[in-house]
Amino acid sequence: MEITEVKVRLADDNTERLRGFCTVTLDREFVVRDIKIIEGANGLFVAMPSRKVTDHCPKCHGKNHLRARYCNDCGAPLPGQRTPDLSETGSKLHVDVAHPINSECRSRFQKAILEAFEAERRRVGQVGEASSPQENVRRAPESEGSIQEEHPPQKSFGEGIV
């Protein structure tokens, strides 16, 4: 499988952890949208498109997000803790709707997406807030496709981010 196109849209608010969105085309004939580029504690990482996990209202069987306190359909109060291991990070609240199933493919995705992201940032003149203007001038000639290699993202696709 070949990643034939990556389109990146930078996030408007650069103070948030969400730095951008992207759309990836595979083999020129399959598109995955809503991939997110997130600034994590260990650098940038890529989050695959995800959806909120839902369960059903005991009264009317309407679908509700696990954090919902009242049913969206009938308004009945819902039990507070509806999953056994609802962690503080909220990772069980979301599930990826499309994702690589091995680490080789995951790193190919991450590399292609982060390269496109850095290229887009350079194109619009947006630079990392940690580096000074002088540093950016110095780094520019050697930075083609290599910036993200200096800070290998360590988080995986698995964590769901809203």
Q: Which is nearer to Zn ion, 74 or 140 (CB)?
A: 74
Site string for Zn ion, 38-77 (x = CB under 5 A): -------------------x-xx-x--------x-xx-x-
Smallest distance, Zn ion to C-beta of residue 57, A = 3
Residue partners of 58: CB distance under 8 A and separation at least 6: 76, 78
Provide the token pair at 81.
């803790």
Smallest distance, Zn ion to C-beta of residue 92, A = 22
Smallest distance, Zn ion to C-beta of residue 58, A = 8
Looking up tokens 């952890």 gives 17
Q: Which is nearer to Zn ion, 7 or 59 (CB)?
A: 59
Distance separating the N- and C-terminal Cα atoms of the chain: 28
**Cβ pair 54, 95 in contact under 8 A:** no
Whole-number Å distance between alpha carbons of 149 and 121:
16
Smallest distance, Zn ion to C-beta of residue 51, A = 20
The amino acid at 66: L
Q: Quick check: 128 binds Zn ion (CB under 5 A)?
A: no
Residues in the chain: 162
Q: Which is nearer to Zn ion, 31 or 60 (CB)?
A: 60
Residues that bind Zn ion (CB under 5 A): 57, 59-60, 62, 71, 73-74, 76
